[in-house]
Chains A and B, each alone.
Chain A
Amino acid sequence: MDPVVRFRSAVSLLGRFPALAGVDLDVARGEAVLVQGPNGAGKTTLLRACAGLVGIASGEVEVLGCDLRRHRRAVRRRVGLLGHAGFLYDDLTVLDNLRFSARAAGRADGDARGALARLGLDGRLADVVVAKLSAGQRRRVAIAAVVARRPELWLLDEPHAGLDSAGRDLLDSLVREAVLAGGTVLIASHEVERAGALASRTVTMAGGRIHPAAVREAAVVA
């Protein structure tokens, strides 16, 4: 089977600094892969490269079977990125934000409402403007915006950050459901134990490269 994510000698430059310094990585459909490593290792850049948010100076990157250089827009419609920021509009309500996210990916309003309910944001919170939410609630809305897109590839950058215990458990359930439904998940996290429990494989990055050591296989528990 063709990999969902395929990096070959991929180099990405931030100015003159190689944030990715020749990355080789294959991620198969239905896999959940944890990317770990110290700050500045290139984890976030790797995830952003999968979404076409950073340029590739040399090498090859294919995502969902498409060359990112030529089919960036098509890939982006099928990807959901939970980054450090939430990509939310403060002056829109929670539901309006989710509707925009769902419609942009070609999904229906029902997907937005479904995500709202799944993240426990339905009821009173749906019509609250995002600016009035707490940091933890904003994080839930950002997760819901990814869920509403029903992505084939989930890119989760420090996904547990800012969530309370119930939110963390909910996020873990969502990742497991996504994998069981045939989705592919790439998680960058410092919380190796928690995120590692979700992953079927762990890769370690340092200095913009993926190190072959420390690969761990695990079963994803439903």
Chain B
Amino acid sequence: MWRDALLVAAKDLRVEARSRVATNQVAPFAALVLVLFAFALDPDRGVLGRAAAGLFWLAVLFSALLAVQRSFALEAHDDARDGLRLSGLDPAGIFLGKAGAVAAQLAVLELLLTGGIAVLYGSDLRGAVILAVTAVAATVGLAAAGTVYGVIAAGLRVRETLLPLLILPVVAPVLLAATKAWDAGLSGASGEGWPWVRLLAVFATVYVGFGVLAFGALLEET
């Protein structure tokens, strides 16, 4: 399973590295979201500073949608999805590989956006530990849930419009918990954030487990 996961993740990341969609489109989109929030709310740094955690995770969430959509768009051309089914790879490995590639892209994006909120919103990155642990747990959860719903949507003709409808309600707890945990970290009250990190860890565990068990059936039947 792990060998297959590495093979799929390496393939997806290599495609992204060559196509440069993540660097030329997804990352600028996320940065643009941060800038537009700054315009929309107020140039007053007091408001932006207080809302920084929520705006950061909204930008990550929108970017995650694009990354998941892109992950399955790769398999839509030239019947590559059938090729993946035919490959003989372990479906659990395919799930972990695709989710891992999405998570890796989101992790890089989050690093860039963290710099963005520090510069644009004047956020003080005090609780580095809770910020990092929250980011890991939320990223794994977003990537796993996104990959589960991504494969469901990918089999349908209306996948582009259906995917946000499927994913956004499901990952609402991630948005809430990650925002609360980052709020606590950014305001220097890290202790208040750890219960939210535990919620994120449970979410990630549930979706990774579900994906490992169910991805094969979803890939074959949708």
Instruction: Scan B1-21; emit 1 where CB is below 8 A from any A CB, else 0.
Output: 000100100010011001100
**Chain A binder among B28-36, B80-88, B165-173:** B80-88
Bound Cα distance from A76 to B19, whole angstroms: 29
B86–A129 contact, CB under 8 A? no
Q: For B19, B82, B83, which residue has the most chain A Cβ atoms within 10 angstroms?
A: B83
Bound Cα distance from A151 to B155, whole angstroms: 28
A77–B88 contact, CB under 8 A? yes
* Shortest beta-carbon distance from A148 to chain B in Å: 12
* Shortest beta-carbon distance from A97 to chain B in Å: 9
B79 within 8 A of A: yes
Bound Cα distance from A70 to B90, whole angstroms: 14
B80–A76 contact, CB under 8 A? no
**Chain B binder among A3-11, A80-88, A199-207, A214-222:** A80-88
Interface residues of A, dominant DSSP: loop
CB-CB contacts below 8 Å: B53-100 with A: 74, 77-80, 82-83, 85-91
Q: A residues within 8 A CB of B89?
A: 104
Q: B residues within 8 A CB of A211?
A: none
Bound Cα distance from A191 to B19, whole angstroms: 38
Q: A residues within 8 A CB of B90?
A: 73
Q: B residues within 8 A CB of A52?
A: 85
* Shortest beta-carbon distance from A157 to chain B in Å: 12
A117 within 8 A of B: no
B87–A89 contact, CB under 8 A? no
Bound Cα distance from A91 to B89, whole angstroms: 21
Q: B residues within 8 A CB of A106?
A: 88
A96–B80 contact, CB under 8 A? no
A90 within 8 A of B: yes
Q: Which of A53, A85, A100 contacts B85 (CB 8 A)?
A: A53
Bound Cα distance from A51 to B84, whole angstroms: 12
* Shortest beta-carbon distance from B24 to chain A in Å: 13
Q: B residues within 8 A CB of A93?
A: 18
A87–B18 contact, CB under 8 A? no
Bound Cα distance from A27 to B131, whole angstroms: 61
Bound Cα distance from A87 to B81, whole angstroms: 8
Least CB separation from A87: chain B residue: B83
A85–B14 contact, CB under 8 A? no
B7–A100 contact, CB under 8 A? yes
Besides the contacts A76-B87, A105-B88, what 14 more A-B pairs have beta carbons closer than 8 Å?
A76-B86, A81-B86, A83-B79, A86-B78, A87-B82, A89-B74, A89-B77, A89-B80, A92-B14, A92-B15, A93-B18, A96-B11, A100-B11, A104-B89
